[in-house]
Amino acid sequence: MNNHIQTDWVKPTHQIGGLDHLGVHAPCIDIYSQLLPGITNVTDRARYYSFYPWVFWSFQRKGWNDKEQLVKMFRRADCLFTLIAARHDLITEGKTSYSVGTVGKNTLEPKLKELSSEQSLKLSDYAHRNPDDASRYFMSKFGGLSQYYFGVLRDLKLFKGDSIESASVIKETGGEIAKAFDEGVPTELFLSIVENDHVTLADLDKLLPFSPVKLASSNKEKELLTKLLLKGVSPFLKDTSEINTTTDLVSAVARSKTMAYQLLLAKKASDYDHEFNVSLFRKLTYSQSGFELDNLDLPPSLKETTQKWQVYSCSEMLSIALQGVFFAMLQAIKPDLALTNTHELAEYFWNKGVGSTVLDSTNIHNTKDYFIHTFNTLPSLNDWQNDNHELQSVDQILSITSYQTGDTSEKKLVSLINHCLIILIAICVREESLQASENVPSTPEYSSKYPVNLRTVQAKLNNELANQNIVEAMINFTQQYCLENHWRVAMRKLRYQNQNTFRFEASERGLTINAIPSATHTSPRFYQSTQVMKDLGLLSTTDRLTTVTKAGEQFIEAVV
């Protein structure tokens, strides 16, 4: 056949699950990225901030500079570090999990458990890069460094270089931290094992000072890392340094204030014998109130940080509410209804479907009046433990839309829409939410990037649709902010990634469903920041309680 006429079926686009189908996670992620620079959702352990610079620093001293050798030895070192952490777990009989967040743990830990005291484990059996061999500990070329930590360590100015192959440790910062790390560990033994490629249980026992939790007893290293997160690199540098510290300082201030803010909230939780987890963090942050409806009474120097986290929390609430509405509306798409566009779907949903059951219960037709009427039935913002508080609605929405526990009976969907409306109303009417939205940028660039945000939703519902009939307003709002907005987001992904993330589509067959996504939170790096603070000895955990240590108190003092 002539190559210049090709007749064939049109290749369908690659369909994936995707995330953030309404573009409502994105503004939340934008906020916490600014509030916690230097700690990300994949930088689980503080000790990698010193271990990786140390690996480069010690390899250079050893003369392992050849690129091929560097990769080979690096991967063995990365494996060995994880094995040490896993061994630490084993000798404490699983009472603690010292190895949590270490790289390749799921592959290496079972192998370690099989190892007897007479045997040795060959590192390269796991450090290899053969993609067809399931024993490979990690795919990424430089293990956890390339996959998780390099960008962060470079932003923190411990490394320089465009890529890991061309990277080097910055002497005044990464070099100093590497030296401090080196003081507390048996360097020669570690490097000789890496070189000889075999490790025994006895070796691992001798190498326990490398364990991630041993950072707590490596005083100088801990002090330098704490200083780095608190003040950035400025304290490490001499006046003649060529490193630009301006952006670093801004990041350090944002990060340290968030860490201090979290430490203060942890104190509140432990004072009331309450586990400090991300759920509680969200509730305290949103309500700015303690366990006895009291004001959190945080230091004035943390005011801006507190406000920004409140914007995050409000944005999260909005995100969950819109995802909940989206979930319920997509459930309404059925072939026998022959809906052809989003307006028909929105009209059906609020006039005849689940939405009509919810809004039928009131005689108030004006949107503004409906909002105020419903708002007056809600508890005050500080009464966040009240079952009728909008914070409890979040949990309900997550539960109803969950794949595991999800129930899509009409009764549940009515409940779902009720909870979504409660949140939307709280966000649009509460004074604190209106104040929070003042901290949302109003620039055209921001609105273009994040068209669905606190500010735009409040403007739509409180101004543009305020005098409309509530049903008409909901048809208009949900068509635009949920249904069409999803298509806008999916179109953008199709344009840039050639991937089909449409959860529903309009086709010759009318509206059809691909998959209905559950409502989900974003992950505001809470787990990582508290784990880093535990590794640095600023927080300690006993049973389920997290308490602020003396070092943690000193950290707070240094910040506020």
Partner 1 sequence: MSISLFDELEKGGYEACLMSTYSVDFPFYEDVLLSKMQSRGIIHHMLFVDKRMCQSTITQRPPNKAGKQYSLALMKCSGAFHPKIIMLLGKNKGLLAVGSHNVTFSGFGKNIELTNIIKFTKKHDEQYLPLFNTAFTALRTWLHDYALQPNSKVQTALTSALEDTLKLAPWLKGHGSDTTEDAALLFSSATTLSLWQQLTPFIPNKSEQIIAISPFFDKSLTFCKTLREKSQSNLIVGLQPNEAVVSQEILSTEGIKVIDSDTINNSEGGKYIHAKAIYFADKYSPVFVNGSANLSAKAWLEQGRSANVEAVLVRNGASAVEVAQLVGITA
For partner 1, the binding residue among 117, 507, 542, 543 (CB under 8 A) is 507
Structure token digits, residue 164: 């890991």
Binding-site size for partner 1 (CB under 8 A) equals 30
Three-point CA angle 349, 353, 357, nearest 5°: 115
For partner 1, the binding residue among 498, 542, 543, 550 (CB under 8 A) is 498
What whole-number distance in Å separates Cα of residue 15 and Cα of residue 501?
6
Structure token digits, residue 358: 């919810």
User: In whole angstroms, how close is the CB of 367 to partner 1 at the nearest point?
Assistant: 23
Is the Cβ of residue 363 or residue 498 nearer to partner 1 in the bound state? 498
For partner 1, the binding residue among 93, 508, 543, 550 (CB under 8 A) is 508
CA-CA-CA-CA torsion sign (489, 317, 393, 530) = positive
User: In whole angstroms, how close is the CB of 522 to partner 1 at the nearest point?
Assistant: 25
User: In whole angstroms, how close is the CB of 464 to partner 1 at the nearest point?
Assistant: 18
Structure token digits, residue 182: 């080196």
Decide if 479 contacts 373 (C-beta within 8 A). Answer: no
User: In whole angstroms, how close is the CB of 512 to partner 1 at the nearest point?
Assistant: 9
Footprint (CB under 8 A) of partner 1, residues 474-493: 484, 487-488, 491-492
For partner 1, the binding residue among 287, 289, 342, 382 (CB under 8 A) is 342
Decide if 408 contacts 357 (C-beta within 8 A). Answer: no
Residue 336 near partner 1 by CB under 8 A: no
- CA Rg value for the chain: 27
Residue 363 near partner 1 by CB under 8 A: no
Decide if 59 contacts 73 (C-beta within 8 A). Answer: yes
User: In whole angstroms, how close is the CB of 6 to partner 1 at the nearest point?
Assistant: 5
Residue 472 near partner 1 by CB under 8 A: no
Structure token digits, residue 502: 């449409």
Is the Cβ of residue 12 or residue 94 nearer to partner 1 in the bound state? 12
Is the Cβ of residue 8 or residue 132 nearer to partner 1 in the bound state? 8
Piece of 10-18, 73-81, 273-281, 292-300 that binds partner 1 (CB under 8 A) = 10-18
The closest alpha carbon to 519, from 476, 473, 489, 482, belongs to 482
Residue 448 near partner 1 by CB under 8 A: no
Structure token digits, residue 5: 């006429």
- Burial of residue 466, with CB atoms counted within 10 A of its CB: 0-12 exposed, 13-18 middle, 19 or more buried: middle
For partner 1, the binding residue among 8, 68, 118, 336 (CB under 8 A) is 8
Distances (CA, A) of 37 to 156, 161, 394, 529: 9, 19, 27, 10
Q: Tell me, what amino acid is at 148?
A: Y
Footprint (CB under 8 A) of partner 1, residues 12-51: 12-13
Decide if 120 contacts 199 (C-beta within 8 A). Answer: yes
Residue 7 near partner 1 by CB under 8 A: yes
Piece of 11-19, 37-45, 236-244, 265-273 that binds partner 1 (CB under 8 A) = 11-19
Residue 95 near partner 1 by CB under 8 A: no
Phi-psi region of 104 (alpha: psi -120 to 50; beta: other; left: phi over 0): left
Q: How far apart are the first and last CA of the chain?
A: 76
Is the Cβ of residue 182 or residue 484 nearer to partner 1 in the bound state? 484
- For partner 1, the binding residues (CB under 8 A) are 1-2, 4-13, 341-343, 484, 487-488, 491-492, 494-495, 498, 500, 502, 505-509
